[in-house]
Amino acid sequence: MSRTFIQLAQALVSELGEGSLTSVESQTGNMANLVTWVADADVYIQGLWADWSYLWVLKNDLGDQLIAGADTLPPIPNMQTPQEKGFVLHPGTVQSYAPTWMPWRDFQARFARQDKRAQPRPTNWTVLPDGQIQLSAKVSVDTPWSLEYYRQPARLVANTDKSPIGDAYDRSIICRAAMTFGVREDAPEILSGYSAEFADYLSTMEGFYLPGNRGTRRSANNALPEPDYLGKSGFDGLSARSTGAGYA
């Protein structure tokens, strides 16, 4: 895990030569701004991608059950997006299985007008616009379940709060906060320096923390072009003939 909120804020204050800081709470004036910018930077980075690996959660408390005759689960409070192959039903003596994911509109078109009868193995599942999980059929027995999903970004509030961004990359939070300081203070030299450092950190993070970027920022990469730090594919502008492949 990364440094605590107070440690990140102290590092920013120290680098910018803005004095000293003993707490992130009850600050006023410029210190309050610096603290806020650290929290803003952390949430901003977490929100850039919905499937950062450090936001992954496995909810597998099998005490949670779909009661016989039910086809819907209430929203999971901190779920941002589910793993499409991550919902598993564990119906006791019957072998556990994963219903097939369907986008809500496709699910609605196929199942909304059907009479839902109880089945031992509903075939499909979706997430409704209000966050509820719905199955294509009612379960015929009480059925425990598990789910993989990516949680929503959480904002740093207290001194001891920690970002899910790991130790190796939590400096990206400081860089992003310092960029805000550079804009606010009309200091282009600060903005450009921290922008370049932030871009490199973000590119590296995307290579290690995003499932679709596993081939980037590695030496054994078959000479494939890297995406830029905003996530734009390195293949943009290259002909299919010259590459003949895409990222896994």
Last-in-domain residue among 108, 126, 151: 151
Are 73 and 195 part of one and the same domain?
A: no
Are 180 and 146 part of one and the same domain?
A: no
**DSSP sequence for 164-220:** SS-GGGTHHHHHHHHHHHHHHTT-HHHHHHHHHHHHHHHHHHHHHH-GGGTTSS-S-
Model pLDDT for residues 146-174, shown as the tens digit of each residue = 999 999 999 999 999 999 998 899 999 99
Whether pLDDT at 93 is above 80: no
Residue bearing the bigger pLDDT, 35 or 113: 35
Residue 196 CA to chain centroid, in angstroms?
23
Q: Which two tokens stand for residue 103?
A: 């986008």
Are 135 and 82 part of one and the same domain?
A: yes
> Is 236 part of a structural domain of the chain?
no
Whether pLDDT at 245 is above 70: no
Q: Which two tokens stand for residue 69?
A: 């005759």
Whether pLDDT at 139 is above 70: yes
* 3-class SS of residue 20: coil
Distance separating alpha carbons of residues 40 and 66, to the nearest angstrom:
38
> Is 239 part of a structural domain of the chain?
no
> Is 159 part of a structural domain of the chain?
no
Q: Domain tally for the chain?
A: 2
**SS3 track for 39-74:** HHHHHHHHHCCCCCHHHEEEECCCCCEECCCCCEEC
The pLDDT of residue 240: 35
The pLDDT of residue 231: 45
Model pLDDT for residues 4-34, shown as the tens digit of each residue = 999 999 999 999 999 899 999 999 999 999 9
Average pLDDT score, the chain:
85
Q: Would you tell me how many other CB atoms lie within 10 Å of the CB of residue 117?
A: 8
The pLDDT of residue 24: 96
- The proportion of the chain whose per-residue pLDDT surpasses 70, expressed as a percent, equals 84
Last-in-domain residue among 151, 175, 205: 151
Distance separating alpha carbons of residues 101 and 113, to the nearest angstrom:
18
* 3-class SS of residue 138: strand
Q: Which two tokens stand for residue 79?
A: 């779920």
The pLDDT of residue 122: 92
> Is 248 part of a structural domain of the chain?
no
Last-in-domain residue among 109, 129, 151: 151
> Is 131 part of a structural domain of the chain?
yes
Whether pLDDT at 206 is above 70: yes
Q: Would you tell me how many other CB atoms lie within 10 Å of the CB of residue 201?
A: 22
Task: Using CA atoms of 45, 51, 57, 60 in order, give the dihedral in degrees to the nearest 10.
Answer: 170
Is the separation of the CB atoms in 86 and 172 below 8 Å? no
Give CA separation, 58 vs 6, 19, 82, 124, 214, in Å: 29, 42, 10, 20, 21
Structural domain of 187 = 5-52+164-213
